[in-house]
Amino acid sequence: MKKRFEKSTKELQDILSEAGRKTALEQYLKDIKAADGDLVLKDYLEEIIAKKDIALSDVVKNSGFDKGYVYNIFGGHRKKPDKMKLVGICIGCHMTFAETQRALEIAECGVLYPRDPADAIIIYNINKENWSVIDINEQLYEHGLPLIGERKGTDK
C-alpha cells in the first residue's frame, strides 16, 4: 500500500470522489490526520535518495551547502528549513518538480510558484533535469533575483 505522501493529488481526489457516504469522508479525514502526524521531512528525503540511489555525501556536494546543514535536515534537527535552502537540497537529491513541491509542502515552506520569476527559473531547470545549483544560481543572478540559499526566511 502506498504511503499518503506517495499518492498523487489525482489519486487523493479519486478517493474523495468515490467516497459515497459521509462516513467514508470521515474515515478519509482520519487517515489524512494520521498520515500527516507521521509525515516528516527527513523521512521523505531519505526515501527519495534511497529510491534514486544517491548518497547523502552527494546531496551535500550537489546542493553546495555546508555538510552540517544538510546533515541537520536529514537528521530531523531542522524541522522547517528556509524555502530556498530546501530547494537546493531537493536539486541536490535530483528531485522531480512534483517531489520538490511535496518536500516543500511537508516542510511548510510554501511551494514553487510559476508566477514568481525566481521560482519560474527553478521550475524550468528542474523540469529540464538540470541538477546544477551553480548553473541555476547563474541564471537567477543574470535576472537580478535572489540565489538559491541566499533568501532569508524561517530556518528552524
Residue 145 near residue 117 (C-beta atoms within 8 A)? yes
Cα dihedral across residues 14, 18, 22, 27: positive or negative: negative
Q: How many CB atoms lie within 10 A of CB 13?
A: 11
- pLDDT of amino acid 16: 76
- pLDDT of amino acid 152: 57
47 vs 41, 69, 106, 144, CA distance in Å?
10, 19, 14, 35
- pLDDT of amino acid 129: 96
- pLDDT of amino acid 156: 46
Q: SS3 of 134, please?
A: helix
- pLDDT of amino acid 10: 78
Three-state SS string across 16-40, please? HHHCCCHHHHHHHHHHHHHHHHHCC
- pLDDT of amino acid 70: 94
Q: How many CB atoms lie within 10 A of CB 113?
A: 11
> Which residues of the chain fall short of a pLDDT of 70?
1-7, 22, 32-39, 151-156
